Structure 1
């Protein structure tokens, strides 16, 4: 998990708490692996924006060191 936040928004005049979590995911297609930013939102409402924290992930092929 790269980060998580709780937001309070108003839905039809009622406060609603939304949990948003950011994480990294990897997908192997049979020959290469791609690392992407992923996200998860729990609650009602729609996205209202985002931010880039500048965090990076580096994948290192360690097969040559086995």
Structure 2
């Protein structure tokens, strides 16, 4: 939960859990990037498998 509360001296506001929302954004970006990397790796793998299938199993793909 977020929000703010008045400080004891009433001259400023204090955020409650200011780190939490930042940490959630960073975590979500990392999860998204990890998913994108896995997806790109899978596409590359499938592309190579497709090339092997076209060239024959005995030829080496570089």
TM over 0.5: no
Could you say which structure has the larger radius of gyration? 2
Name the one with the larger helix percent: 2
Greater relative contact order, per chain length (Cα 8 Å cut-off, separation 6+): 1
As a proportion of its length, which structure holds more strand?
Answer: 1
Give the TM-score normalised by structure 2: 0.29
| TM-score between the two structures when normalised by the length of structure 1 | 0.28
